[in-house]
Structure 1
Amino acid sequence: MSGCVAAVTPFLNNIDQVNGWNVDTDSPEKILMVQVTDHRIGTLVIKAVGQAAYQADYKPRP
């Protein structure tokens, strides 16, 4: 498990509306994809990533 994945795991797993997530660790940007039950929780996900000392931006799927 990469350092960024290990860091965000407890924070993302603590959000009830998150059904699953993964990080593309092959990408230089370390793209995080999150599957949710409520699309209004983007700010919770961004906050959770921030708690792990990383930065996230919300970009909806096309």
Structure 2
Amino acid sequence: METIKFKTNIKCGNCIATVTPFLNEAVGEGNWEVDVKDPKKVLTVSAVDAATVRQAIEKAGYKAEPLN
């Protein structure tokens, strides 16, 4: 699996709690983390498909744009 990074609007612990079930279902527990201290709120995911991750984030009500 490759590691993919996304710029998100996930800002706090409550936001992480909201996206957790969606990301755990999409990529598996322990395969992702959000750095809320980074100004870009970077989500790092071990996943096969960036589109799957984006769909999970959007389903939870947040936005994610792949970082280059």
Q: TM-score, normalised by structure 1?
A: 0.74
What are the ranges of 5 or more consecutive residues in structure 1 without an aligned counterpart? none
Which structure has the bigger radius of gyration? 1
Q: Percent identity?
A: 35
Equivalent residues, number: 57
Contact 2:27/2:53 (8 A) holds in 1: no
Higher RCO (Cα < 8 Å, 6 or more apart):
2
Moved over 4 A (4+): 16-19
State the Cα RMSD in Å.
Answer: 2.2
Which is richer in strand? 2
